[in-house]
Structure 1
Amino acid sequence: MDYFQIISEDRIKKAYDDGEFENLPGFGKPLPPDDLAGIPDELRMAYRILKNGGYTEEAKTLRQEMVSLESMIAQCTDDSERASMQKKLNQKLLRYNSLMAKRGAKTNSSVFKNYGEKVLRKLT
């Protein structure tokens, strides 16, 4: 046995003897369903790492919508329509930032602006 494994086993036995595992929240209840249960075992860890890093489907969709809104704002000529799209963009940016803040990730909205500029340069 590994030395660290022996230490951890001893600490678990001591905690059990001291009653630290009694009255835990959720004791006797089934575990919540795994949201990645439908993903094959060999891919599940990779998906979990991506999810913990902030690369969720919702975050991906929000990033795509923000890029397309910025593109439409750049091409828009009507001021009232531009203001409406800017309001939508701000709402999506706030939602995205709150998603990233929950995961402790820092966001940088200029990344999307740089991406949009690069795409426009490639296309023109």
Structure 2
Amino acid sequence: MTSWYESYIDRQIREAYERGDFDNLPGAGKPLPGIGEEYDEDWWIKDLVRRENITGVVPASLALRKEVEDLPQAVADKRTEASVRGYVDDLNERILRARRGLIDGPPVVLPTVDADEVVQAWRRLPHRA
């Protein structure tokens, strides 16, 4: 004698199937994405970035390099020399932390920024005259 037991979950699935809730689902009949590819442990974050169309996400060390590159534009709107120097001091502190390996991303080989040079360039901007 064989007894048949259907759990609550199994019953919900069977009833949904009988109602046709699983008919015409998106992706039906298509292979699962990523099948046959090498396993990537960051698959979930890459999928999230793709699905949510997230842009501008870069490791902190790369963002730091970009910030150094964009330094003239970043200080252009500063109103005082003290604020320019404060910005450069903060940037230099983050560069030093990155060089010690204390931020995420590829290694940083950036030199610190000379605050005097940045201030001189800032003074030459048209709105400073």
* TM-score normalised by length of structure 2: 0.35
Kindly name which structure, 1 or 2, has the bigger radius of gyration based on alpha carbons. 2
* TM-score normalised by length of structure 1: 0.36
Whichever structure has more helix as a proportion of its residues is: 1
